[in-house]
Chains A and B, each alone.
Chain A
Amino acid sequence: MNLRKKVNLIKRKGGNNIELIEQFKDWEKNRHDYAKQWKEKSGGKVIGYFCTYVPEEILYAADVLPVRVLGSHEPQDVTEPHIFAMFCPFCRDCLAQGLKNRYKYLDGLMIAQSCLHIRQAYTSWIKHRPVEFEKFLCMPHKVQSPHSYEFLTEELRTFKKEVEDWTGKKITDNDLKKSIEVYNENRRLMKKLYELRKREKPPITGEEAMEIVIAMQMTDKAEHNKKLKELIKKLEKYTPDREVGSRLMILGSEDDDTVFMNMVEKCRATFVIDDHCTGSRYFWNETENGKDPLASIAARYIDRVPCPSKDWEERKRIPHILNLCKEWNVDGVIIMQQKFCDPHELEFVAIQKALKDAGIPTLFLEFDVTVPVGQFKIRVEAFLEMIGEEDLF
């Protein structure tokens, strides 16, 4: 039995109301089975996507299920001939999933322009595991330019046509509006769930929230909405009996490491908020209901909380992070830096400074796809001790 499985077995002790989120956990853990079953049931196509700048609404409007490609957190030896070793472990882990045929059921694969590392995973994948439909969507980098709205709208117009040609289905404005509504509802519900975490005793842990957000990125949103509504209804009346401890925020590179979350939350701490593309950044902004649905979708992706690769010339993410810290009453922040992830490496010095100036302590940790839980535990405990110093003395 590998370490991760062992940890999975014992980690339930860290949570508090697992039975409420069992469905989401199941979707997250058995993502491939879910997608295959969805395909069988609906007869529709499934597309894998690499970055949260992919406008899923257009795909969903064409009855395509978009599923985010994530890694498996297992050591692998298949990507060395394809990606230079100084590229981030996440992009290599993602490519490994493709090369190992774990996503064989995909009909299409796409990426929106974001960081170079994940793009390399995409370009290698389509060459060595070709799919029926492939797309590099030219999402603008300069989202702070007023011209980016028109540019992206045009790119989406082309993309829509390509999806129509691929699926054989004409995507009407009405289809887009319906799709937008399903996605917006999902975003609203997720924000509502996150709002509950503001409570003195948050009804879910950070690990559980992570499982729900990850499941969100690989399931049919309508189905996710249904279960999410049920969950929120239960959680609204629920007060956990676990100790909250220090209220933490986690931010940084792509992060779906539930093992780490669980370890920290067993050390008298609770993650109450995050700023990850696998977390809050994925759903934070809604699509406005405009005249031209494509223009509305474009505006949503331009105006969303930016990935650091697009956060210039002004650093708009920092005030957002500081605001999250304030609103969720955060005691400390763990900065999770994926090894070799340049956009975040270019950002964390400024973020650390801003947090320090705001009097919020930080712990910086560099992650790989596998986490040295023991070593990190010692550092996390020391950090939590430092945060709780005033209580001790």
Chain B
Amino acid sequence: MENEAKYPTEKLKCWNKAKEIRLKFYKDYAEAHDNGGLRWAGGAWTFDAIPAGLGDDVFPITSEPYGATIAFDKDLSMECMEAAEKEGYPRDLCSYMRNYWGSIIIDKYPFGYDEKGQFVPRFKGAKSLGFPKPDFIWQDHICCSHAKWYQVVSDLEGGIPMFTVDNAVGPSNELNDSKIKFVVEQLKDGITFLEKATGRDFDDELLYKAIKNHFISTSKWAEICALNKIIPAPLDEKSIYSLYVLGTLQKAGKQVADFYEKDLLPEVQDRVKRGIAAVPNEKFRVMSDTQPPWSFLSIFRYLEKFGCVSIGSLYTFGLIGQWEVKKDGTWGAKTIPDVEFSSRDQALYEYVKYELHKPEWQHFYSCHLKSDMMIRIAKEWKLQGVMLHYNRGCEGLTVGIAENRLALLDAGFPVMAFEGNNADEREFDEGRTKAKINAFMETLGAK
């Protein structure tokens, strides 16, 4: 074991604030109706700046983080999974989705109020609220499950107005006017749908603000991740999971944009300046891929015993973060468009043009595009190896993972593949995975 501390370390100062933003997100959604507001449901990748145009009292719940939140509450997750299976849904489907459906079927929200009337997670003593039914569904579709997920949600809830945007228009290197316009026109139809479904008028000024927030959240998050190129890494992946998630909740929200820009980025820059490490005994650097098995994040702490830091992944960097190749050929945060919005059409065009470059959308067209990005990260973040989670719970992010493995090996990076499930703990073997880690660390030279 590599226990000797080489670098100073300290906790993140903004850690609690990140947790507060996350908890408030679920509270705002649950309580929206109490204050005359609206609730909507959609994916973490959905164009969430659009519903923002309906008012400041319109609160989302995003599917994947919600499924992960349930996964973290193992007992509740088991109840949800079994309820979904009892309804006939196969257990090899997306495990986030099965948690989500189960939560509707058993009518349990993983949050509620404790004895003091505080809004807290169920596992901290709250009595579960019922699942707060959304007023409308605003989804995107690039993975086979996305739109279908919400067809079932609507079925289970007895019908919910639903609009889904097809954003699968091809890789960013083939982007053209026709592809951008296809998405833009759908968004315009979506705005008409939202006005009809809610009876509210759409406010373009609120839309413009939300798109700007979106640019900031996604660019600043990438800038934060880029700082992890430094040795020692200022952030480790287990912590990154708690930070990137804010972008998956409400990337077009001001609280998220402000947090990334004004709290987290300056603090990580300061850590770099002062040489503060996430893992004080950092000796080896690896990355992972796809969602982790959420009930077993302890495997990332286990790595630290060997002096190994997982610096992140294409998943945590590129799920929300937007990147570009800089003049020196390296990957850096995407430049925030220097543009003023003067019309809805123009704002939507800029929004779509920017968003279609999302790194985590590219492998849906070709796993080889993903391999190239992973090799880039392995090189620029100075890694010794890669841990690939063959994730049975998400076909969308595991598509091509075996080819990614071959490409990384060809590029000279040792790869440890482990099988598991992001949100169905029945499909993760912790002991076996740790045994694999032991062997992998040994091959990297750990003592």
Contacts and interface: CB of A to CB of B under 8 A. Distances in A.
Given A349-B87, A352-B88, A116 B366 contact: no
Interface in B143-164: 143-145, 147-149, 151-152, 155, 162-164
Ranked nearest first, the 7 interchain pairs of A and B with the lowest CB-CB distance are: A142-B166, A346-B148, A151-B182, A312-B147, A154-B178, A138-B170, A147-B185
Contacts of A52: none
A342 B93 contact: yes
A141 B141 contact: yes
Given A115-B144, A343-B144, A345-B89, A138 B406 contact: no
19 contacts: A86-B92, A86-B390, A116-B144, A120-B367, A120-B400, A123-B367, A123-B368, A136-B366, A140-B168, A140-B182, A147-B186, A309-B144, A309-B148, A312-B147, A345-B90, A346-B149, A346-B152, A350-B151, A350-B152
B411 interface: no
Contacts of A4: none
Given A138-B169, A349-B89, 11 more contacts: A84-B398, A120-B400, A123-B367, A123-B368, A141-B166, A141-B168, A145-B189, A146-B189, A148-B166, A343-B148, A346-B145
A109 to B, nearest CB: 13
Nearest to A347: B148
Nearest to A350: B155
A124 interface: yes
Interface in A310-360: 312-313, 315, 339-340, 342-343, 345-350, 352
B395 interface: yes
A127 interface: yes
Contact of B165 (A119, A142, A150): A142
A11 interface: no
B179 A151 contact: yes
B143 A116 contact: yes
Interface string B386-398: 0000101001101
B395 A116 contact: yes
B401 interface: yes
Given A123-B367, A145-B189, A84 B148 contact: no
B130 to A, nearest CB: 23
Contacts of A231: none
Contacts of B92: 86, 339-340, 345
Interface of B: 87-90, 92-94, 141-145, 147-149, 151-152, 155, 162-166, 168-170, 178-179, 181-182, 185-186, 189, 364-368, 390, 392, 395-396, 398-403, 405-406
Size class of A's contact patch? 35 or more
Interface in A115-158: 115-117, 119-120, 123-124, 127, 136, 138, 140-142, 145-148, 150-151, 154-155
A350 B89 CA distance: 10
A141 B403 contact: no
A83 interface: yes
A87 interface: yes
Contact of B395 (A87, A123, A348): A87
A168 interface: no
Given A82-B406, A123-B400, A147-B186, A312 B179 contact: no
A150 B186 CA distance: 12
Nearest to B89: A349
Nearest to B154: A313
Given A313-B151, A346-B145, A145 B390 contact: no
A203 interface: no
B203 to A, nearest CB: 24
Nearest to B401: A84
Contacts, number: 134
A308 interface: yes
A187 to B, nearest CB: 26
Given A127-B368, A312-B141, A120 B399 contact: yes
A84 B144 contact: no
A179 interface: no
Interface hub of B166, B178, B185, B364 (most chain A Cβ within 10 A): B166
Nearest to B406: A81
B288 to A, nearest CB: 16
B133 to A, nearest CB: 18
A80 B419 CA distance: 14
Contacts of B398: 84, 86
Interface in A338-385: 339-340, 342-343, 345-350, 352
A138 to B, nearest CB: 4
B395 A312 contact: no
A313 B162 contact: yes
A315 B150 CA distance: 12
A244 B18 CA distance: 67
A138 B87 CA distance: 34
A253 interface: no
A136 B178 contact: no
Contacts of A205: none
A113 interface: yes
Nearest to B143: A116
Given A123-B366, A123-B403, A312-B141, A342 B166 contact: no
B93 A346 contact: yes
Contacts of A347: 148
A329 B368 CA distance: 48
B151 A136 contact: no
Contacts of A120: 367, 399-400, 403
B152 A138 contact: no
Contacts of B366: 123, 136
A119 B182 contact: no
B189 A342 contact: no
Contacts of A84: 390, 398, 401-402
Contacts of A309: 144, 148
Interface hub of A82, A142, A347 (most chain B Cβ within 10 A): A142
Contact of B403 (A127, A150, A154, A313): A127
A56 to B, nearest CB: 21
Nearest to B367: A123
Contacts of B169: 138, 140, 151
A83 B145 CA distance: 19
A124 B401 CA distance: 11
Nearest to A137: B170
A312 B144 contact: no
A82 B399 CA distance: 10
A87 B90 CA distance: 14
B151 A315 contact: yes
A140 B170 CA distance: 10
A141 B147 contact: yes
A295 B186 CA distance: 19
A155 B367 CA distance: 21
A86 B88 contact: no
Interface hub of B92, B148, B178 (most chain A Cβ within 10 A): B148
Given A120-B400, A138-B170, A145-B186, A312 B151 contact: yes
